[in-house]
Amino acid sequence: MPYPEAMVAPMRNDLVHVGFTELRTVADVDEALGSEQRTTMIAVNSVCGCAAGAMRPAVAMSLDNESRPDVLLTVFAGQDLDATNRAREYFTGYPPSSPSVALMKDGEIVYMLERREIEGRPASEIAASLKAAYDEHC
Protein backbone atom coordinates (compact mmCIF):
# COMPACT_ATOMS: atom_id res chain seq x y z
CA MET A 1 0.00 0.00 0.00
CA PRO A 2 1.45 3.37 -0.98
CA TYR A 3 2.57 5.89 1.62
CA PRO A 4 0.77 9.24 1.91
CA GLU A 5 1.83 11.51 -0.94
CA ALA A 6 2.71 14.31 1.49
CA MET A 7 5.31 12.01 3.01
CA VAL A 8 6.96 10.96 -0.26
CA ALA A 9 6.79 14.28 -2.12
CA PRO A 10 10.18 15.44 -0.75
CA MET A 11 11.70 12.11 -1.80
CA ARG A 12 10.33 12.56 -5.30
CA ASN A 13 11.61 16.12 -5.40
CA ASP A 14 15.17 15.03 -4.56
CA LEU A 15 15.41 13.68 -8.11
CA VAL A 16 13.06 16.08 -9.89
CA HIS A 17 15.09 18.98 -8.49
CA VAL A 18 18.23 17.74 -10.28
CA GLY A 19 16.49 17.28 -13.63
CA PHE A 20 14.66 13.94 -13.55
CA THR A 21 11.25 13.50 -15.14
CA GLU A 22 8.83 11.38 -13.14
CA LEU A 23 7.02 8.54 -14.86
CA ARG A 24 3.85 7.94 -12.86
CA THR A 25 1.77 5.83 -15.25
CA VAL A 26 2.27 2.91 -17.62
CA ALA A 27 1.61 5.30 -20.51
CA ASP A 28 4.34 7.64 -19.22
CA VAL A 29 6.83 4.76 -19.13
CA ASP A 30 5.96 3.44 -22.57
CA GLU A 31 6.06 6.92 -24.08
CA ALA A 32 9.47 7.63 -22.52
CA LEU A 33 11.14 4.26 -23.04
CA GLY A 34 9.27 2.64 -25.89
CA SER A 35 11.36 4.10 -28.71
CA GLU A 36 14.07 6.02 -26.85
CA GLN A 37 17.45 5.69 -28.53
CA ARG A 38 19.39 8.25 -26.50
CA THR A 39 21.35 7.33 -23.39
CA THR A 40 18.77 7.20 -20.61
CA MET A 41 19.05 6.82 -16.85
CA ILE A 42 16.07 5.42 -14.96
CA ALA A 43 16.29 5.75 -11.18
CA VAL A 44 13.93 3.47 -9.27
CA ASN A 45 13.25 5.60 -6.20
CA SER A 46 12.17 4.22 -2.82
CA VAL A 47 11.28 5.30 0.71
CA CYS A 48 14.02 3.11 2.21
CA GLY A 49 17.00 4.48 4.05
CA CYS A 50 19.52 3.42 1.41
CA ALA A 51 17.62 5.47 -1.18
CA ALA A 52 17.65 8.53 1.07
CA GLY A 53 21.19 8.19 2.35
CA ALA A 54 22.93 6.78 -0.69
CA MET A 55 21.07 6.41 -4.00
CA ARG A 56 19.45 9.84 -4.36
CA PRO A 57 22.52 11.78 -3.16
CA ALA A 58 24.81 9.63 -5.34
CA VAL A 59 22.70 10.18 -8.43
CA ALA A 60 22.71 13.95 -7.84
CA MET A 61 26.51 13.98 -7.31
CA SER A 62 27.10 11.83 -10.38
CA LEU A 63 25.52 14.38 -12.68
CA ASP A 64 28.49 16.69 -12.06
CA ASN A 65 30.43 14.93 -14.81
CA GLU A 66 31.43 15.81 -18.36
CA SER A 67 29.70 12.69 -19.72
CA ARG A 68 26.17 12.08 -18.54
CA PRO A 69 22.93 10.53 -19.76
CA ASP A 70 20.85 12.48 -22.27
CA VAL A 71 17.57 11.62 -20.54
CA LEU A 72 16.91 11.38 -16.77
CA LEU A 73 13.79 9.48 -15.69
CA THR A 74 12.48 8.13 -12.41
CA VAL A 75 9.76 5.83 -11.12
CA PHE A 76 8.84 5.42 -7.46
CA ALA A 77 8.65 1.83 -6.19
CA GLY A 78 5.87 1.22 -3.71
CA GLN A 79 4.09 4.40 -4.81
CA ASP A 80 3.49 4.35 -8.55
CA LEU A 81 3.11 0.59 -8.71
CA ASP A 82 2.00 0.13 -12.32
CA ALA A 83 4.61 2.55 -13.69
CA THR A 84 7.37 0.88 -11.69
CA ASN A 85 6.33 -2.60 -12.82
CA ARG A 86 6.27 -1.45 -16.45
CA ALA A 87 9.71 0.16 -16.16
CA ARG A 88 11.07 -3.08 -14.73
CA GLU A 89 9.82 -4.91 -17.82
CA TYR A 90 12.42 -2.94 -19.76
CA PHE A 91 15.16 -4.14 -17.38
CA THR A 92 15.58 -7.50 -19.11
CA GLY A 93 17.67 -9.95 -17.13
CA TYR A 94 17.47 -8.09 -13.82
CA PRO A 95 15.17 -8.92 -10.90
CA PRO A 96 13.08 -6.16 -9.30
CA SER A 97 15.29 -4.03 -7.07
CA SER A 98 14.60 -0.79 -5.27
CA PRO A 99 16.30 1.44 -5.13
CA SER A 100 18.20 0.87 -8.33
CA VAL A 101 19.59 2.78 -11.28
CA ALA A 102 19.53 1.58 -14.88
CA LEU A 103 21.51 3.11 -17.70
CA MET A 104 20.06 2.32 -21.12
CA LYS A 105 21.41 3.01 -24.58
CA ASP A 106 19.48 2.27 -27.75
CA GLY A 107 16.79 0.66 -25.61
CA GLU A 108 19.16 -1.84 -23.95
CA ILE A 109 20.56 -1.95 -20.41
CA VAL A 110 24.27 -1.15 -20.49
CA TYR A 111 24.72 -0.67 -16.73
CA MET A 112 22.62 -1.59 -13.72
CA LEU A 113 23.15 -0.56 -10.11
CA GLU A 114 21.04 -2.78 -7.87
CA ARG A 115 20.07 -2.35 -4.22
CA ARG A 116 22.72 -4.86 -3.12
CA GLU A 117 25.33 -2.54 -4.68
CA ILE A 118 23.86 0.51 -2.95
CA GLU A 119 23.35 -0.74 0.61
CA GLY A 120 26.24 -0.01 2.93
CA ARG A 121 28.18 2.11 0.43
CA PRO A 122 28.75 5.85 0.78
CA ALA A 123 27.06 8.10 -1.77
CA SER A 124 30.44 9.35 -3.02
CA GLU A 125 31.53 5.81 -3.92
CA ILE A 126 28.26 5.10 -5.72
CA ALA A 127 28.55 8.42 -7.58
CA ALA A 128 32.04 7.44 -8.74
CA SER A 129 30.67 4.14 -10.09
CA LEU A 130 27.91 5.98 -11.94
CA LYS A 131 30.39 8.49 -13.40
CA ALA A 132 32.55 5.62 -14.67
CA ALA A 133 29.46 4.14 -16.35
CA TYR A 134 28.68 7.51 -17.96
CA ASP A 135 32.26 7.84 -19.19
CA GLU A 136 32.00 4.42 -20.80
CA HIS A 137 28.47 4.60 -22.23
CA CYS A 138 27.47 8.26 -22.66
- pLDDT number for residue 53: 95
Return the DSSP state at 113. E
- pLDDT number for residue 2: 82
- Reported confidence tier of residue 41, pLDDT bands at 50, 70, 90: very high
Annotated catalytic residue within 8, 23, 50, 59: 50
Indicate whether 62 pLDDT > 80.
Answer: yes
66-105 pLDDT tens trace? 999 999 999 999 999 999 999 999 999 999 999 999 999 9
Instruction: Clarify whether 138 is annotated catalytic.
Output: no
What is d(CA 7, CA 39) in angstroms, rounded to the nearest whole number? 31
Fold entry, domain 5-130: Glutaredoxin (3.40.30)
Q: What is the DSSP string of 51-70?
A: IIIIIHHHHHHHTSSSS--S
Indicate whether 15 pLDDT > 90.
Answer: yes
Annotated catalytic residue within 23, 41, 48, 127: 48
Yes or no: say if 119 and 57 are a contact pair by the CB < 8 Å rule.
no
- Reported confidence tier of residue 127, pLDDT bands at 50, 70, 90: very high
What is d(CA 95, CA 114) in angstroms, rounded to the nearest whole number? 9
Question: Over the range 45-56, which residues count as b (16 or more CB within 10 Å of their CB) and which as e?
Answer: bbbbebbbebbb
Pairing mode, strands 71-76 and 40-45: parallel
- pLDDT number for residue 37: 86
